[in-house]
Structure 1
């Protein structure tokens, strides 16, 4: 995925709503996919993505260009906030479940592998991040990321062949 320009980030930091709209349009699908992989429900993932962008807007001043790419900072925020929100909802007895239809069978299959494997596969396949970048986002070692990707692919192969 192409990184959004530094100029846009600087404009967002200054409160430019048009620049923020560009940022949301650029990253919305990626953030949504991560949210969906965590909770498995389209509507809840969409709501969660909106919440994450509001959080990002309110905390854009925390982003330091010198420490990491914006997309990695955003995806790390997304994973952490979505996990937290999902865990809070599950503790209150609200459980998301994938809605079945003929177009999302692969999504249903994905929901049957571990969260860590789903996230690693999503960040690799959909968001086109390198192993090092996935490691930064999930804050775990490269070797563990490679293991999650391998296990996830093997699990998918097994489930699809059945």
Structure 2
């Protein structure tokens, strides 16, 4: 699956900059890159995680199929070049209110629970991201429990 996403990125052209509807400062690109990082942190980007990521991005950002695929492909590339979480969380902090940042953490949990296997890497990643997003420990745990029980927003 990861190879298919890389192929999609390289198929955009001959290495030149592909015209995109998502600018580098678009908070949606930062959000999607953080979700891609979440899906890949355990070393495997499972098909079920990719499907959940695609559904979340499409629904949350109200995108059509082509725009969803483009955003995910760009996010994979941005995530690949990233060195830390701060570049993503800083953009989200500047753009989203507290409810939006909490929704971001909830979406991260939804990616993690997509394969029904929460690793210590995934748990630690969400702890660090939630902290950088200003989401309290209590709210992070409540969001986890909501997602685990199947009561999360679609």
**Structure 2 length-normalised TM:** 0.39
The higher radius of gyration belongs to: 1
More helix by share: 1
**Higher relative contact order at CA 8 Å, sep ≥6: structure 1 or structure 2?**
2
TM-score of the two chains, using structure 1 as the length reference: 0.38
